[in-house]
Structure 1
Amino acid sequence: MDRFSWTSGLLELGETLVLQQRGVRLYDGEEKHTQINMEGSEESQTSVVTLKCLQFFRRFSEEITQRRWENMPAGQTMQVNKDPQAGRIRAVGIVGIERKLEEKRKETDKNISEAFEDLSKLMEKAKEMVELSKSIANKIKEKQGDITEDETIRFKSYLLSMGIANPVTRETHGSGTHYHMQLAKQLAGMLQAPLEERGGIMSLTEVYCLVNRARGLELLSPEDLVNACKMLEPLKLPLRLRIFDSGVMVIELQSHNEEEMVASALETVSEKGSLTADEFAKLVGMSVLLAKER
């Protein structure tokens, strides 16, 4: 016996909507069919539904006769019903959702692969630049060629601003006092030229930003920076850590003369008559924090 069954109405992959009708319902008529049980000669009342789906049967017969699914090109779907009132094709159910998720995953994998490919190329170039910087730094150290002292200082400044360095890390120099000692030596070499350009003194905040910019991905913690700066004077390096009465910490050259700086500040203020800390900082090219300490 042919039977009708309920379905969700969602199309599976490769299926095409041919006909859709709205407002259709099953009507259990007034008449009942009498089913006779031949064995026990008992009668039972069951419902019989009479369906007169002429339009459905006609379209169904056309599809069976034409067999259009055999001639349909790959990737093409049949659009038989053009009537907008006949309803729209719903999404392709779970199969469609899984297909969209798979496409999205492939696109994500492709983007990640391209990103890592670009990162690998960048790392290769970075290695080449590091090797080049080491080679040039060794030549500068040995003073090979016609290189003046000013050119040496300027080039070291360029390397520092570019952030190309071989930073001291815990992985390469362990931890504890030895690590802070090696870090202090590196800081002394990195900060010599910037300090000279800034009048021989810099706040620890400025030093922190400058050092971490030069170290790239090997960032330095504030605690390690302070501990390394405390090692500058005991190691007899050309820099030292100084703490003002206000608690402000600065790095200054060993050759920095505080009396000369105070005299210079007094002369500048006397020439202008009066200056605020902001005005003095702009005039001498230092931070407002250090200007207040003057």
Structure 2
Amino acid sequence: MDRFSWTNGLLEINETLVIQQRGVRLYDGDDKAKLDLGIALLTTHRLIWRDQKNHECCISLPLSQVIFFEEQAAGIGKSAKIVVHLHPCTENKEPGPYQHSKFSFIKLSFKEHGQIEFNRRLSEEMTQKRWENTPASQPIPTTSGSRAGGRTRAVGIVGIERKLEEKRKETDKSISEAFEDLSKLMVKAKEMVELSRSIANKIKDKQGDITEDETIRFKSYLLSMGIANPVTRDTHGSGTHYHLQLAKQLGTMLQAPLEERGGMMALTEVYCLVNRARGMELLSPEDLVNACKQFEPLKLPLRLRVFDSGVMVVQLQSHSEEEMIASALDNVSDKGSLTAEEFAKLLGLSVLLAKERLLLAEKMGHICRDDSVEGLRFYPNLFCTP
């Protein structure tokens, strides 16, 4: 702890904050330091600790003082720690909370977790050693001769303006790089969709030794990568026209998945399925609901249904309500009783849809319920049994 010096906690010129973590306690070797919980700040040049309650209590340690560090796992009643081994204390060190220490290492105890990311970022800074390439402060002509530990700090309006300009340039660079990567990803996604269509068309003739089952399976893998030309506001405007065109595309896309799932899917499942297929052109929940409401006006083979509980589903027009009720009654009668979870496993449905089918059969009077501490269980309605 005698390597730490008092500081005001302000970043110097060319110094950048890397990461900060609350709930960190300092140890002088194996002994707990006479300091409360604080905030550990890692910069490109220093390790700074500031008291959470008294911000004027702030100390720092140059990263150049660090020899190596290691992680100490948490135990029963013990927090995870990072053990930092340090070089001997220099003679011209500025004053700090400890004048002498018998230990050559300190510990950072993380009471609120965060030690994994802090350890990773510390490792990066020790590898890059940015404090050597960009000194934390540059000499600035001054008549006052204001110095701290042999280094001249940038103070006043000039120092503040310089730091703000550096921050702005760094932020602009990060934003530019992020959007550049995003643009490349969107271009690559479109290329992959076009490639999948091209390969799918070429294997229609089943050239070579590809069997029919393999051909169908391979085509499904390729086409599941995305919709080739998704309906968007850019291509089809906004408002009713956009929702009508979107409904037509959904009607074509959802036909096969609905047939595979017994003719009905929860709207949340539809939302995930559609957005996965659309790739970068994601659909909002509001647009999906408005598009599904257009199924019946467009006379598509699908419809949006809202159960009494408020659960919304998309189902095929050919999906018979009588068949749903009969299926629920038959399964409950065969098993004697069923919960929604058990019914879902039998039919391969989600628990939400299984429960709605059972509630529908109950509403029609074919089954009845027993709602106890063990959960909701459905039984055949013996009063309706001939």
Same fold at TM > 0.5: yes
How many equivalent residue pairs?
210
Aligned-residue offset at 1:87:
5.9
Q: Deviations over 1:77-97 (max 9, x none)?
A: 8xxxxxxxx965441334444
Match of 1:159 among 218, 223, 231: 223
Pair 1:127 & 2:190 matched? yes
TM-score (norm 1): 0.57
Equivalent position of 1:91 in the other structure: 153
What is the aligned counterpart of 2:324 among 224, 240, 261?
A: 261
8 Å contact kept, 1:278–1:288: yes
Kindly state the Cα deviation for residue 201 of structure 1 after the two structures are TM-superposed.
0.6
Equivalent residue letter for 1:159: L
The Cα offsets for residues 46-93 of structure 1, whole Å up to 9 and x where unpaired, read as xxxxxxxxxxxxxxxxxxxxxxxxxxxxx998xxxxxxxx96544133
Letter in 2 for 1:168: V
Contact residue 180 and residue 231 of structure 1 kept, 8 A: yes
The structure with the larger Rg is 1
Once the two structures are TM-superposed, the CA of residue 221 in structure 1 deviates from its matched residue by 3.7
Residue segments in structure 2 that go unaligned for 5+ positions in a row:
1-12, 14-136, 140-147, 358-386
Q: 1:223 to 1:283 in 2, by over 3 A?
A: same
Q: 1:264 to 1:139 in 2, by over 3 A?
A: farther
Contact 1:180–1:224 (8 Å) recurs in 2: yes
Within-5 A mapping of 1:73-92? 88-92=150-154
Question: What is the deviation of 1:186?
Answer: 0.6
Provide the rounded CA distance (Å) in 2 between the counterparts of 1:236 and 1:157.
30
Matching residue's letter, 1:235: L
Partner residue, 1:47:
none
Is contact 1:240–1:253 with CA below 8 Å preserved after alignment? Answer: yes
Q: Tell me what 1:243 maps to.
A: 306
| Partners of 2:264 and 2:298 in 1: CA distance | 19
If each structure's strand is expressed as a fraction of its own residues, which one has the higher value?
2
Spell out, residue by residue over 1:200-237, the C-alpha distance to the aligned partner (whole angstroms, 9 max, x if none).
Answer: 11122322232233334433344433332233234343
* Within-5 A mapping of 1:30-45: none
Aligned to 1:277: 340
Structure (1 or 2) with the greater helix fraction: 1
SS at match of 1:252: strand
Answer yes or no: is the 8 Å Cα contact 2:193–2:226 preserved in 1: no
RMSD across aligned C-alpha pairs, in angstroms? 3.6
Q: 1:154 to 1:135 in 2, by over 3 A?
A: closer
2:354 corresponds to 1:291: yes
Q: Cα offset for 1:139? A: 6.1
Verify the 8 A CA contact 1:202 1:252 in the aligned structure 2: yes
- Relative to 1, partners in 2 of residues 1:156 and 1:186: Cα closer, same or farther, differing over 3 Å? farther
User: How far off its partner does 1:153 sit?
Assistant: 7.1
In 2, are the aligned partners of 1:165 and 1:214 still within 8 Å (CA)? no
Judged with a 3 Å threshold, the aligned counterparts in structure 2 of structure 1 residues 103 and 177 are, in CA distance, closer, same or farther, namely closer
User: Are 2:138 and 2:153, in contact at CA under 8 Å, matched by a contact in 1?
Assistant: no
Relative to structure 1, is the Cα distance of residues 111 and 241 closer, same or farther in structure 2, using a 3 angstrom cutoff?
closer
Over 3 Å counting, the alpha-carbon distance change for 1:293 and 1:89 in structure 2 is closer
Aligned to 1:172: 235
- 2:296 paired residue number: 233
SS of 1:232's equivalent in the other structure is coil
Q: CA contact under 8 A between 1:157 and 1:194: conserved in structure 2?
A: no
- Give the drift of 1:124: 2.9
Q: Mark the CA change 1:178 to 1:96 in structure 2 (over 3 Å): closer, same or farther.
A: closer
CA 1:150–1:189: 2 relative to 1, 3 Å: farther
Q: How far 1:187 sits from its partner (Å)?
A: 0.5
Q: Contact between 1:229 and 1:241, CA under 8 Å: does it hold in 2? A: yes
